[in-house]
Structures are given as structure tokens and as C-alpha cells.
A and B are shown apart, each in its own frame.
Chain A
Amino acid sequence: MTWFTRRLRRLAPQLVALAIILGIISLIAPGFLTVSVQNGRLYGSLIDILVRAAPVALLTVGMTLVIATRGIDLSIGAVIAICGAVAATLISDGYSLPVVIAVSLGVGIACGLWNGVLVAVLDIQPIIATLILMVAGRGIAQLITEGVILTFNDDTFAALGSGSLAGIPIPIYLWVGTALVIGLLMRRTALGFLIEATGINRRAASLAGVRARFLLFSAYAISGLCAAIAGMIVTADIRGADANNAGLWLELDAILAVVVGGTSLNGGRFSITASLIGALIIQSINTGILVSGFPPEFNLIIKAGIIIVVLTLQSPAIMTLFGFIKASRRSEKLNHGTKEATR
């Protein structure tokens, strides 16, 4: 089997689910799939999905790595609020754009390293360790903004959220670019395999010479970095830092995206691409509900209903039934996977 067909087989359930969801929405809301050029930029609901997916997609990249190490990062929603607050404060104090971006990214990485210390050094369970920053983070953000929605009028920074380059909105560049860089870093070097090894069995990996502690640190730091980029997009988008609401519950959407993407919460093998398709599925549902015209009381039910269907379709039992995995081939495939991991 070639590399490409193997990839396609891995991503097939997510791609099929995304296609079906987009298909259903376009039946309900005509014109949903049209993309036109307006004011020199791409315009349409599909573009909206790609733009609005940016925060969750970015979080998903980091979350995939953290989950691959058998961890979880609940703090990223709050890190969005912190980094957004930092960025808005610096921008309104008149600092230049490079300084603002560098400091915000630095704060995000610092938040990630804090989680890393709790998880990797103090051996606190990730769900509790990151819960600390999830709770404290919004408080920190509120202290930075002094409890108000901190607004600014800086067109260059605002462009991160609502500007466009060569007709394509900038948030799309940011999340696709980040995902590409981190994806290549994981798959073109051994980092990805080492993270998987750490996630499957940290002790065994350490004994085999893998620097598990360093890998845990990097996974949480990357997660913090991704949250910082997302935080700047969210803040730039509304030209203001809303400490109470920026990134609220987005960590749960990110976890959901990873799960919809088929990465196990038990750690080990992961696919950033599949997680990103998961994020697009979630955002398609969100945007689809908005254009469909259903009353808002149905929003959450519709979302939950679709996700149950997607997850059911991905469950091993159903996948075997539909032939995404051939029952006879499953053991062969598993063997192959182990070989790859020990390579």
C-alpha cells in the first residue's frame, strides 16, 4: 500500500463525516457552498468556517500532542484569555507589533511550561495540573485587563483577526501554517514517534533512552504556544480583550476535535491532520446551525446529535461493518503499527 492510500484510509471516516455534514447544510441553506470574491477577498460560508475554526484548530494542534503523551490540557481556554489580555494591553500602551507578538507568544509558552512542570516534574495528573491554570487563568486575565473589555484601535494588529493577504483571510494562514510547521516537525523528525512512545508507556520509553520529561515539557509548551496564537486571533478579531469570554470552553471543543479525529485519549498514536478535520467538523456544525435558521434553543442538541452520529460511525464495530477496516486485515495493520513505532 502506498503512503497516500494509507493516509486516505486513516482519514476516510473524518473526511466522509465532514462531506456529509457540509452536504446536509447546503441542502438546508442554499448558497452555503458558494465562494465568491468580494472587496478583494474570498467570501462565503465555507470561508467563514475556515476563519472561525482558527482558534479551535490551533488549540487542536497542541491538544493532539498533549493527548498523545497521555495527558490533557484544560488550561488552553484560559491561556487564550491571558495572552489576549497581554496583547491588548501592550497594543494600547503603544508597543510595536513584533514586541506584542513576541511577548504574547512568550506568555503562552510560559503558561505551557508551568503545566509541564506540574505534570513532568511534580508528577501531578494532567487533568488536575492543568485545571489549576484553567481556574486561575481567567482571574489573571481579569487582573491584566482590570475587569473591563480592553479595546484598542490598531489596524495592523487587528489584521491578525480580520485582515486578508492575497484574498485569503489571515487567520487561515496562521492556523494552517502553525499546523504545517508542527506537523512536519513531528513527522519529518523522530519527535512524533518519541511522543507516541512516551504516551504508550512513559516508563518503558524512559528506560529505552527516550527523554520523556523533555517531551512532556515540549508538548505542553507547544500547546501553550498554539493557545497564544489563538488568543491573539480572538483578540484581534473583536479589537478587544474580553477576559470573561475569550476562549471560554474552547478547550472542550479542542478535546472533542481530537477525539472526532480518532486519536485515543489513552495516548500513543496521533494524527494532527485528522484532529484538524475534527475541528473543521465542529466548526461546520456551528456555522451550519447559524445559517440554517433553527431557533437557538436547538443549537446544543443539534451539535450533540451530530457528534454522537460521527463518533458512532467511527467506532470499531461500525467501521468493520462498513469496511473502512477489513476485519481480517486488522491484526495485520496492528502489527504494522507496532513495527513502525519501534523502528
Chain B
Amino acid sequence: MKKALVAAAAAAILASLASGVSAQSLTVGFSQIGSESGWRAAETTVTKQEAEKRGVTLKFADAQQKQENQIKAIRGFIAQGVDAILIAPVVATGWDAVLKEAKEENIPVILLDREIESPKDLYLTAVTSDQVFEGKVAGEWLAKDVGSKDCKVVELQGTTGSSPAINRKKGFEEGIKAASNIKIVRSQTGDFTRTKGKEVMESFIKAEGGGKDICAVYAHNDDMAVGAIQAIKEAGLKPGTDIKIVSIDAVPDIFQAMAKGEANATVELTPNMAGPAFDALEAYLKDKKEPPKWIQTESKLYTAADDPMKVYEAKKGLGY
């Protein structure tokens, strides 16, 4: 009788242990940079949602833009013996020591959204978007949309010298390379903000014969596009019809503009970096399948044909 009880108890313990190592109840630490932008906040929300969907216990640490806080958080995760660590690294350098500590404990590390300058064997994989590709998708959309008509494009760049500004400019130029009828006639920085986007657009309109010569605006992010839309409206032109608007990021507000016909296309910088990361992690833990060192997220193109109001409703609650 006693023996049977002990055996049953042991079986129960074993069973609970067994379920403890199965993929259903992974514990994953996530060191986030902070919440400096709407996109970052949405990334945090989506990561939590993705974890919940998969039954992963997520330990979340907000580093408030400081690397030392991230390193502290990662050491904390290692001490707690988590199954894996996700990092959205605030800077590119200085990670070697702490990543080695994780490696010694056999804890796989996945980078989200940004890459780092460390030996590639120190992390499992990096899930990021391809900024050049984003620009290219935008450029190719415009080339297809205008067809063979001549098209003068004005470009609202991101903060001068920032990597998204450089890469998205490069990508767009690649995207329109084949179409000799499309020319970028003006290009200025709008610092990724609405105010500057509007101010720069006002000047562009004046410099290009009252805006009638401008066929399209390419903005490196949606916020500048929203500012440009207002400037175009105030100049008595119709954004979306007289001047086409194509931008990158896919934040909720641009879908409202799209629903009103004032914006034409946006390329999504998905806040869902964690989904592909969890997929790769589960495959790795289950079958020891090494993922590629770089997982590129989808850069999805949204146009007015994609039911913008529905996308807006879906994105609204993500914390953008």
C-alpha cells in the first residue's frame, strides 16, 4: 500500500518534471531597450502576446535605454536559470562577456530587431527587418503604380546619418532604378517627426511650382508622411490623388489616412520579432535544429486594397 503511494507520488513528480522541460512551459527572459517610441511599445506588447499564445512564461525587463541595465537583466535571467533569452540590444558593442556567461550555462540567446558586433557563435540567431529591402518594396510599389508616366518624387529622409535613413534611401533608389521615368527631385531630412515632415513638405511644395509638379512623396516613416499629408491639404491639393504618398513602418495612424484615401501605401516594419524568434527557439530546443544566423522578418506592403480600417483597429491596441 505504502509502496504504491510512493510510486504514485514519484510518478506524479516525474510527470510534472517531464512537462517542465517540454516546450509548453518554457521560461524565457526578454531584455527590452525601453519604450522610446510607439513601435518599441508595440514590440513589447506583441512579444508578450506571442509568449502567452505559446504558453511561454516571459520574464520582462525594461532597460530604460541603458546597456548596463540590459547586462544586469541578462545576468539575472542566467541566475534564474531561464531556458532562453531574447535581447533587443540598445547598442552594437560590449556584449561579448555576458553572452559568454549565457553560453557557458547553455542558454540560447536570440537578438531582436538589431544586430550586434560579437562573434556569431555567441548567439543563436538574430531576428531583424531588412531596412534596405523595406525601401525597395516602397520603390517597387511606386514604379508599378505610376507605370510609364513621368514622376517627380520628393523624399522625406529620417534623421541624417541614422541607419534607417541611409538604408531606406538606398533601398528606394534600388526599387526605382529600373524606372527611368521616376526621379527624386528633392530630398531633405524630416527627423522622423510629424512637425518637421510638415515643415519640409511645405517648402518642397513651394520650391516645386506650388506642388503641381510633384507626383509622389516618399517618407522614411509614417509620422513624416502624416505631416506631409497635412501640408499638402493646406496647400489646396489632394494627398493620395494629386500627390501619392508612400511611407514605411505601418503605424496605426497611416491606416486612418489610407482609409480616407489620403495615403497610398506603407511598408510594415513588423513589431512581431518575437514570433519568428520563438519558432526558431522551439525548433532548436526540440530537434537541436540550428536556425540561420539571420532571420529576416516580412516587410509587408499595405495599400488601400487591404481594408485599412480593419488593420487600424487591429493595431490600435498594441501600444503604438
Which A residues, 224 to 277, have Cβ-Cβ distances below 8 Å to chain B? 234, 237-240, 242, 244-246
B189 and A245 contact, CB distance less than 8 A: no
Bound: A293/B194 CA distance, A? 20
Bound: A31/B210 CA distance, A? 11
Chain A residues near B226: list those with CB within 8 A: 238
9 closest Cβ pairs, A-B complex: A290-B203, A296-B189, A238-B194, A245-B193, A291-B207, A296-B160, A291-B203, A39-B236, A45-B206
* Residue B37 is within 8 A (CB to CB) of chain A in the complex: yes
| Cross-interface CB contact of B203 among A43, A45, A148, A238, cutoff 8 Å | A45
B188 and A162 contact, CB distance less than 8 A: no
* Residue A29 is within 8 A (CB to CB) of chain B in the complex: yes
Minimum distance in angstroms from A171 CB to a CB of chain B: 12
B157 and A296 contact, CB distance less than 8 A: yes
* Residue B41 is within 8 A (CB to CB) of chain A in the complex: yes
A151 and B157 contact, CB distance less than 8 A: no
A147 and B198 contact, CB distance less than 8 A: no
A246 and B203 contact, CB distance less than 8 A: no
Bound: A148/B235 CA distance, A? 28
* Residue B275 is within 8 A (CB to CB) of chain A in the complex: no
B188 and A147 contact, CB distance less than 8 A: no
Which B residues, 184 to 219, have Cβ-Cβ distances below 8 Å to chain A? 186-189, 191, 193-195, 198-200, 202-204, 206-207, 210
Count, chain A residues at interface, CB 8 A:
32
A29, A44, A147, A297: most-surrounded residue (chain B CB, <10 A): A147
Who on chain B is nearest to A29 by CB? B207
Chain A residues near B292: list those with CB within 8 A: none
Bound: A38/B200 CA distance, A? 19
Who on chain B is nearest to A169 by CB? B234
B204 and A290 contact, CB distance less than 8 A: yes
Count, chain B residues at interface, CB 8 A:
35
A290 and B199 contact, CB distance less than 8 A: yes
* Residue B117 is within 8 A (CB to CB) of chain A in the complex: no
Known pairs A149-B253, A238-B195; list 8 more (Cβ under 8 Å).
A43-B235, A149-B194, A151-B253, A234-B195, A237-B195, A293-B186, A293-B207, A299-B160
Counting residue pairs across A and B whose Cβ atoms lie within 8 Å, the total is: 78
Produce 1/0 per residue, B134-159, CB < 8 A to A. 00000000000000000000000100
Which B residues, 206 to 252, have Cβ-Cβ distances below 8 Å to chain A? 206-207, 210, 223, 226-227, 230, 234-236
| Cross-interface CB contact of B236 among A38, A52, A245, A297, cutoff 8 Å | A38
Chain A residues near B223: list those with CB within 8 A: 149, 242
B199 and A52 contact, CB distance less than 8 A: yes
Q: Given that A31-B206, A149-B253, A291-B207 are contacting pairs, would A296 and B188 also be in contact in the complex, using a CB cutoff of 8 Å?
A: yes
| Cross-interface CB contact of A245 among B161, B188, B195, B253, cutoff 8 Å | B195
| Cross-interface CB contact of B227 among A238, A291, A296, cutoff 8 Å | A238
Bound: A71/B5 CA distance, A? 82
* Residue A287 is within 8 A (CB to CB) of chain B in the complex: yes
B194, B195, B223: most-surrounded residue (chain A CB, <10 A): B195
* Residue B76 is within 8 A (CB to CB) of chain A in the complex: no
Bound: A39/B233 CA distance, A? 11
* Residue B320 is within 8 A (CB to CB) of chain A in the complex: yes
Produce 1/0 per residue, A293-309, CB < 8 A to B. 10111010000000000
Bound: A149/B230 CA distance, A? 16
Minimum distance in angstroms from A43 CB to a CB of chain B: 8
Minimum distance in angstroms from B241 CB to a CB of chain A: 17
